[in-house]
Amino acid sequence: MPYTIKIKETEYTIDDTTINELKRYVHHGELPGNFLRAVLCNNFANAVALADGHNLQNLPAFARYLWWEMPSDSWGSTEKILKWCSHDGMSGYGKEMK
C-alpha cells in the first residue's frame, strides 16, 4: 500500500515498491539503492540528484515518512544506516545499538 500525505492541498506519495524497500531496510537491515540511501542519510542534494521524476516530486513524503514512521536510530547519517544494517535492522535493535 503506498504512503500518501497531504500538505496544503497537495498530495505526496511513496509508491509500493519503494515502501517495501524501506520496510526491508527497517526490519532486516537490507541496504537500499542509492536514492534511498541519500534520503536515509539526510543528504538532500544527493537525493535530488538521484531521484527519478516521481520521487523528485514526492520528496516531502519521504521526509514525513522518516520522521513519523521510522526509528530515529535508522536514519540521519551514513554512520547510522551502516550501524542499522550491521545489526540486521529491527531484529537486532537494542543489541549493541548504543
How many domains, the chain? 1
CA–CA dist 57, 81 (Å, integer):
24
Show the cell assigned to 51: 531521484
Question: What pLDDT score does 94 carry?
Answer: 65
Higher pLDDT, 47 or 98: 47
CA–CA dist 88, 51 (Å, integer):
26
Residue 68 lies in a domain: yes
Residue 98 lies in a domain: no
CA–CA dist 52, 67 (Å, integer):
22
Q: Compute, in degrees rounded to 10, the torsion defined by CA atoms 72, 78, 84, 88.
A: 150
- Amino acid in position 53: G
Residue 97 lies in a domain: no
Q: What are the angstrom distances between the C-alpha of 41 and each of 11, 73, 74?
A: 24, 11, 9
What is the arithmetic mean of pLDDT over 71-81? 96
Q: Give the residue numbers spanning the domain of 33.
A: 3-92
Q: Is 60 exceeded by the pLDDT of residue 30? A: yes
Q: Is 90 exceeded by the pLDDT of residue 80? A: yes
**97 within 8 A of 88, measured Cβ to Cβ:** no
Going by pLDDT thresholds of 50, 70 and 90, the confidence category of residue 92 is confident
Residue 14 lies in a domain: yes
pLDDT in tens, 35-66: 999 999 999 999 999 999 999 999 999 999 99
Residue 22 lies in a domain: yes
Average pLDDT in the chain: 93
